[in-house]
């Protein structure tokens, strides 16, 4: 059974005297059990809105969502979810140990189980070193660990994490990634949002990309990046401006990096052979030749350039999505 299914999930905010804000429009998405699913989009794309709908914190204007087959508005569905809000709130005068005790009680974890729950979670997040210090003086990274700890209370099968890596340093980001991988290895489903591509790219089994409240693309990263478009990248040095112009005039345009290396992208091996000859004839030295996939970043940028709110009506994938549901 899918962990999350959304059908036409939509949220609009009507504001007096202002234009209605369509924060989320017709989201159709399915998250499989035991996946790490990355929910990607720039700030304001609608990620938090979607997450609040999934966790039952706000009501949909249209459509709905199911969590393990149960309507997301029901407490029964919520019992399956561990949730990390975008801006977790803490009682500053409590310690992590006390906070977890407090939330465990709130979540209905029996008293006899709370001690073992603390041990399990504090080990996963390395909380021991500051278990009995007040949260008040904690750094962003320490707070995030406490927030994540709270989401793990009761060992829920689905974790919904809103920007879990945001504001963390590289060490903190790695900690979050490792936690997500561990959760997956334990059979859990992890659904997390981010506006930073590399955080999502690295560990997600599948991703969905939101642009202006609409699903612009979803699928496995390998399938999304470049729609399978491969290319060969040649990197060389020692080419003068004249030589570059001559090559560009024949459709082989290189781009220079800060260290003066020139990179060319050609579609296939035949063309790369031709280009290598040219480079050598112009006095250049070939440094490397590697097959590359169009990066997800390029793909992401392309999707945003086709943003429905900036001209075009709908992206190709979003249009497909609508067709298949009507």
Residue 9 tokens read as: 């999930």
Look up residue 30 and give its two tokens. 């399915």
Q: Tell me which residues in 29-58 interact with ligand ADP (CB under 6 A).
A: 41, 43-49
For ligand ADP, the closer of residues 130 and 191 by Cβ is: 191
- In the bound state with ligand ADP, the residue whose beta carbon lies nearer, of 66 and 162, is 162
Is 17 exposed, middle or buried, given 0-12, 13-18 or 19+ CB atoms closer than 10 A? Answer: exposed
Helix (H) or strand (E) holding 8: strand 4-13
Which of ligand ADP, Mg ion, none lies near 13, with the C-beta cut-off 5 to 8 A by kind? ligand ADP
Of 9 and 135, nearer to ligand ADP (C-beta) is 9
Selected binder of Mg ion within 48, 144, 218, 315 (CB under 5 A): 48
The dihedrals phi and psi of 255, each to the nearest 5 degrees, come to: -120, 135
Query: Which tokens sit at 273?
Result: 């052979």
Q: Are strands 81-84 and 206-211 parallel, antiparallel or unpaired?
A: unpaired
24 versus 279: smaller Cβ distance to Mg ion: 24
Least gap, CB of 217 to Mg ion (angstroms): 19
Cβ at position 225, least distance to ligand ADP in Å: 21
CB of 166 to ligand ADP, least distance (A): 10
We find the least distance from the C-beta atom of residue 192 to ligand ADP, in angstroms, to be 12
Residue 41 binds which entry of ligand ADP, Mg ion, none, with Cβ cut-offs from 5 to 8 Å by kind? ligand ADP
Task: Please list every residue from 83 through 142 that binds Mg ion, using CB under 5 A.
Answer: 86
CB of 301 to ligand ADP, least distance (A): 17
Q: Which of 21, 79, 94, 289 binds ligand ADP (CB under 6 A)?
A: 21
Q: State how far Cα 241 lies from the chain centre.
A: 41
From ligand ADP, Mg ion, none, interface partner of 46 (C-beta below 5 to 8 A by class): ligand ADP
Task: Kindly state the smallest distance separating residue 166's Cβ from Mg ion, in Å.
Answer: 9
Strand partners, 84: 161
By the 8 A CB rule, do 161 and 194 touch? no
Q: Which residue has tokens 């994540």? A: 148
Residue 319 to residue 288: CA distance in whole angstroms: 40
Q: Do the Cβ atoms of 114 and 67 come closer than 8 Å?
A: no
CA–CA dist 282, 269 (Å, integer): 20
Looking at the Cβ atoms of 13 and 91, the one nearer to ligand ADP is 13
Residue 70 · residue 41 · CB < 8 Å: no
Distance of CA 251 to the CA centre of its chain: 36
Name the site residues for Mg ion (rule: CB under 5 A): 47-48, 86
Name the site residues for ligand ADP (rule: CB under 6 A): 13, 21, 23, 41, 43-49
């Amino acid at each position: 059974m899918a962990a999350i299914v959304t059908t036409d999930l939509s949220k609009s905010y009507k504001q007096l005297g202002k234009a209605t804000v369509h924060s989320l429009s017709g989201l159709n998405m399915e998250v499989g059990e035991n996946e790490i699913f990355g929910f990607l989009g720039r700030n304001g794309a609608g990620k938090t809105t979607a997450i609040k709908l999934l966790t039952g914190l706000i009501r949909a204007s249209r459509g709905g969502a199911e969590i393990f087959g149960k309507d997301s508005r029901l407490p029964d569905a919520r019992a399956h979810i561990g949730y990390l809000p975008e801006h977790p709130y803490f009682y500053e005068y409590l310690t992590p140990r006390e906070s977890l005790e407090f939330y465990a009680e709130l979540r209905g974890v029996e008293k006899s189980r709370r001690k073992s729950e603390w041990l399990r979670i504090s080990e996963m997040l390395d909380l021991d070193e500051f278990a009995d210090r007040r949260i008040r003086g904690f750094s962003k990274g320490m707070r995030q660990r406490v927030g994540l700890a709270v989401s793990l209370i009761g060992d829920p099968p689905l974790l919904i994490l809103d920007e879990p890596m945001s504001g963390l340093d590289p060490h903190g980001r790695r900690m979050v990634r490792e936690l997500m991988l561990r959760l997956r290895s334990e059979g859990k489903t992890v659904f997390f949002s981010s506006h930073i591509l590399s955080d999502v790219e690295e560990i997600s089994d599948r991703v969905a990309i939101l642009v202006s409240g609409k699903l612009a693309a979803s699928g496995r990263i390998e399938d999304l990046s470049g729609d399978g478009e491969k290319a060969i990248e040649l990197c060389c040095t020692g080419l003068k401006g004249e030589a570059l112009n001559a090559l560009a005039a024949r459709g082989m345009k290189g781009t220079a990096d800060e260290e003066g290396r020139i990179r060319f992208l050609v579609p296939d091996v035949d063309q790369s052979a031709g280009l290598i000859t040219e480079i050598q004839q112009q006095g250049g030295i070939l440094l490397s030749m590697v097959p590359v996939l169009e990066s997800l970043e390029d793909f992401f940028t392309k999707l945003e350039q086709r943003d429905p709110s900036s001209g075009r009506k709908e992206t190709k994938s979003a249009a497909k999505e609508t067709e298949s549901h009507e």
